[in-house]
Amino acid sequence: MAETAASPTQSSAEQNLSARVSPARQLAEAFTAGSLAGTVELSELPFLTMVGLRADAGSETAQRLAAATGGLPAASGAVATTGDTSVLWLGPSEFLVVAPTEAHESLGGDLIPALREALGNDAGQVVDLSANRTTFELVGPRVRAVLEKGCSLDLHPRVFKTGTAFSTEIANIPAILWKTGEDSFRIFPRASFAEFLGRWLLDAMREYASPEVP
Amino acid sequence: MLLIPCPNCGPRDETEFHYGGQAHVPYPENPNELTDTEWSRYLFYRENPKGIFAERWVHSTGCRQWFNMLRDTVSYDIQAVYPMGTRRPDLAADPAVEAGTASTAADSTTTGTAAPSLSATSLAASPTRTAPEGATK
Amino acid sequence: MSTQHLPEHPDFLWRNPEPKSSYDAVIVGGGGHGLATAYFLAKNHGMTNIAVLEKGWLAGGNMARNTTIIRSNYLWDESAAIYEHALKLWEILPEELEYDFLFSQRGVMNLAHTLGDVRESIRRVGANKLNGVDAEWLDPQQVKELCPILNIRDNIRYPVMGATYQPRAGIAKHDHVAWAFARKCDEMGVDIIQNCEVTGFLKDGDRVVGVKTNRGTINTEKVGLCAAGHSSVLAEMAGFQLPIQSHPLQALVSELHEPVHPTVVMSNHVHVYVSQAHKGELVMGAGVDSYNGYGQRGSFHVIEQQMAAAVELFPIFARAHVLRTWGGIVDTTLDASPIVGLTPVENMFVNCGWGTGGFKGTPAAGMTFAHTIATGTPHRLNKPFSLERFETGALIDEHGAAAVAH
């Protein structure tokens, strides 16, 4: 967690960061307590850099944005990853760029200025959405069972492939679900839904703390 | 619960969508020239068929795109999905269209895959920029 | 196999006559409104050579599917007048129809959960008082006193910030209401014809002169449409359009419980309304399903949301079991008010658009619609509820008072 005590040696960017409170900060201890090592673990990855892009697919604008991000995904579920920057498909002309915290403009990152420059004055959007959503990481062999309690997508690995992401509903709230590995998902709920979804996931995980009834 | 075949994302639960009422209701060219009767028709009168209904839906928690759909208001079978701004498909003329019922599609429990079966839903091309017709015409 | 004889069938309350070749008036739809219309045509206007045509069985549509709430606390003068008239008729009908249909004036509460709700509710209480409708504003503590099982704590998503309360409001046994009207209609000579579906209309120019049915053609001088969710279908057969949309509306009951719920509680904001029927089952309704539908069924997530709302408001319900759920087809208008009056077809009259609130209006709908059919002009009470209001703009917007389900 980004809980670094402020000290005189910090840069102003670091001080800014230490003053921020992530949307699910109040659940950090509960996430630790509710996580089951080797079964299913939940944590918040706060303050990832997220940028909303809108541009007509195939347009010159989209091509310039693609050049800046390293590529735009083409269809539902697709994620275009280059280095530590990923672009998720949200709609035919809407994308979400996800990058590490330090990619943010306020911390000296050049991702957002580069995208803004690529858009220029053309029709479209480059919007800093870093504060719009937070990120939950759910890992472990039981993640699918936990998510299946509140997500109607088919999460079976033969259908839901590693490296794909879908905008859908989890526990009746809108969220983006990104399968980052065989047994790991990132979930992006809106900041205002973070506490609800966090508590819902803890509740859904709870049964796996007990030994399985044969 | 309807299982609605989004043209961009594939079949998804009805809760991910919002209903937009009757499709193909153009905004009058010259509202000021309409009589009160004509204006009331535009404002308050919509088709209410017992049978196939052309209606608009938006995939609000998915791709956020509007599309048109032909649905049977008795059986709730979805007969066709087609882009905003295109003409209502003629079900009788194109039997293939009728294969697009959401409730019986073989992949009805899968997620939206990268290539949802557009042919079964009479979609010639993926819609690009779409908006409710009433708002743009 | 049992050799015992079945018990004697109780007396039939109405005949099952064959349709005659002609009637003075034909009412299409044998639900509450159709039967009430026939009753008042016979009683108030002496028209007894009339028929009520029902495509299924008597009172098997919305009359069998509603949640039986009766109240008159509507905002506008026009609505207060007609719904309050209905309530006054409800108060005398058990005696007049010689049938105790368990009209129970246990009061109805409309909860307010937001400051907007509070403002709208207090405004409506004031409007009700001006119109002679009994109405009170209750603070949360008073709400709790009247209905102790309600959760009025402020730590829930939509806390109870107060409620409007109409003491004279309540519930009635819907089947018995239909049977009471049907028996009196039958006694006065009205033919109630079940399993008789209207398939078209005979017209002479712009005038209706007959009804085509699956049991033959019936000549008639006047036709009254009382078909709720199917009104658009009939209007189309007759050659005109109605500004209504048919939606599924769902309800459910729990298994039987000891009396726990003393009144009727409605919440527009979280979309649930609950009463406890005489037998003991909890009767709950929700909002309409968003899409148009004639399927008499809706989507399960609506039931789920309705249950979530109910359990938050009534924690005691958490361990109750749902016995069954069902759906009806409601005919909604853009101003959440009914249409009772003339149509573009001469001698054809329409009573529709009651949306989710038709049961409470049954007696007044019948009385005013009978007047309209018999005299050819609307009664003072239904005059504002004409089809023309959608052209003149004189809408009667009752989304605030009718809001649970629209």
Rounded to a whole number of angstroms, the distance from the CA of B53 to the nearest CA of chain C is 9
Amino acid letter, C160: V
Are A40 and A141 contained in the same domain? yes
Cross-chain Cβ contact C291/B55 below 8 Å: yes
In angstroms, the CA C220 to CA C202 distance is 9
Query: What is the token pair recorded at C121?
Result: 């509710």
Are A72 and A176 contained in the same domain? no
Length of chain C as a residue count: 406
The per-residue pLDDT for B109 is 35
- A108-117 pLDDT per residue, tens: 999 999 999 9
Residues of C in contact with B1 (CB under 8 A): 299-301
Are A143 and A174 contained in the same domain? yes
Residue C358's SS3 state is helix
User: pLDDT averaged over chain B?
Assistant: 78
The per-residue pLDDT for C9 is 86
Q: Is A8 contained in some domain?
A: no
Length of chain B as a residue count: 137
pLDDT range class, residue C348, cuts 50, 70, 90? very high
**Is the separation of the CB atoms in A123 and A65 below 8 Å?**
no
Residue with tokens 């037998």: C279
pLDDT range class, residue B10, cuts 50, 70, 90? very high
Distances (CA, A) of C367 to A102, C45, C112, C337: 74, 10, 33, 17
pLDDT range class, residue B108, cuts 50, 70, 90? very low
Are A56 and A119 contained in the same domain? yes
Q: Of A103, A132, A161, which one is at a domain's C-terminal end?
A: A132
pLDDT of B113 above 60 = no
Q: Of A91, A114, A132, which one is at a domain's C-terminal end?
A: A132
Q: Is A210 contained in some domain?
A: no
Q: How many domains does chain A have?
A: 2
Q: Is A175 contained in some domain?
A: yes
Are A115 and A186 contained in the same domain? no
Closest residue on chain A to B6 (Cα): A76
pLDDT of B137 above 70 = no
Q: Which residues pair with A6 in a beta bridge?
A: none
Length of chain A as a residue count: 214
Region B2-13: mean pLDDT is 97
Name the H helices within C131-244. 140-146, 174-187, 231-238
Rounded to a whole number of angstroms, the distance from the CA of B77 to the nearest CA of chain C is 11
pLDDT range class, residue B93, cuts 50, 70, 90? confident
Query: What is the token pair recorded at C355?
Result: 């949306």
Name the H helices within C131-262. 140-146, 174-187, 231-238
pLDDT range class, residue C4, cuts 50, 70, 90? confident
**Is the separation of the CB atoms in A126 and A115 below 8 Å?**
yes
Q: Is A11 contained in some domain?
A: no
The per-residue pLDDT for B127 is 40
Using the Cα atoms of residue A59, residue A61, residue A63 and residue A66 in order, give the sign of their dihedral: negative
Residues of C in contact with B43 (CB under 8 A): 334, 390
Q: Would you call B102 an interface residue with chain C, using a CB distance cutoff of 8 Å?
A: no
Q: What is the CATH number of the domain that holds A103?
A: 3.30.70.1520
* pLDDT above 70 as % of chain C: 98
Are A191 and A91 contained in the same domain? no
Helix (H) or strand (E) holding C41: helix C32-45
Residues of B in contact with C242 (CB under 8 A): 45, 48
- C363-384 pLDDT per residue, tens: 999 999 999 999 999 999 999 9
In angstroms, the CA C180 to CA C36 distance is 10
Partner residue opposite B74 with nearest CB, options C245, C295, C334: C295
- Greater confidence (A211 vs B98) lies with A211
Among A76, A144, A176, A185, the strongest candidate for a mutation testing the B interface, having the largest count of B CBs within 10 A, is A76
Cross-chain Cβ contact C245/B18 below 8 Å: no
- A163-203 pLDDT per residue, tens: 999 999 999 999 999 999 999 999 999 999 999 999 999 99
- B119-128 pLDDT per residue, tens: 334 333 334 3
**Is the separation of the CB atoms in A160 and A133 below 8 Å?**
no
Q: Of A113, A132, A151, which one is at a domain's C-terminal end?
A: A132
Q: Is A90 contained in some domain?
A: yes
Are A60 and A120 contained in the same domain? yes
The whole model's pTM is what?
0.90
- A8-47 pLDDT per residue, tens: 567 776 777 778 899 999 999 999 999 999 999 999 999 9
Partner residue opposite B111 with nearest CB, options A91, A94, A153: A153
The per-residue pLDDT for B100 is 41
In angstroms, the CA A36 to CA C124 distance is 54
Q: Is A79 contained in some domain?
A: yes
Phi, psi of A125 (to 5 degrees): -145, 145
Region C328-332: mean pLDDT is 96
Q: Is A19 contained in some domain?
A: no
**Is the separation of the CB atoms in B136 and B28 below 8 Å?**
no
Q: Is A15 contained in some domain?
A: no
Cross-chain Cβ contact B109/A154 below 8 Å: yes
Are A111 and A88 contained in the same domain? yes
The per-residue pLDDT for B117 is 38
Region A51-72: mean pLDDT is 95
Are A52 and A124 contained in the same domain? yes
- C197-241 pLDDT per residue, tens: 999 999 999 999 999 999 999 999 999 999 999 999 999 999 999
Q: Is B101 left (phi over 0), alpha (psi -120 to 50) or beta?
A: beta
For chain A, state the CA radius of gyration: 18
* pLDDT above 90 as % of chain C: 93
User: pLDDT averaged over chain A?
Assistant: 93
Q: What is the CATH number of the domain that holds A31?
A: 3.30.1360.120
In angstroms, the CA C148 to CA C68 distance is 22
Residues of B in contact with A94 (CB under 8 A): 63-64
Are A128 and A52 contained in the same domain? yes
Are A59 and A29 contained in the same domain? no
Partner residue opposite B53 with nearest CB, options C241, C292, C301: C292
Distances (CA, A) of B10 to A157, A186, B43, C347: 17, 22, 33, 51
Region A126-133: mean pLDDT is 97
In angstroms, the CA B71 to CA B55 distance is 8
In angstroms, the CA A201 to CA C105 distance is 45
Cross-chain Cβ contact B73/C292 below 8 Å: yes
Q: Which residues pair with C267 in a beta bridge?
A: C111, C272
Residue with tokens 């998902």: A185
Rounded to a whole number of angstroms, the distance from the CA of A152 to the nearest CA of chain B is 7
Using the Cα atoms of residue C60, residue C62, residue C64 and residue C70 in order, give the sign of their dihedral: negative
Cross-chain Cβ contact B61/A167 below 8 Å: yes
Cross-chain Cβ contact B128/A93 below 8 Å: yes
Cross-chain Cβ contact C334/B14 below 8 Å: no
Region A60-74: mean pLDDT is 96
Are A62 and A110 contained in the same domain? yes
Cross-chain Cβ contact B12/A152 below 8 Å: yes
Residue C114's SS3 state is coil
Question: ipTM of this predicted complex?
Answer: 0.92
In angstroms, the CA C247 to CA C386 distance is 22
Give the structural domain span for A63: 48-132
**Is the separation of the CB atoms in B4 and B69 below 8 Å?**
yes
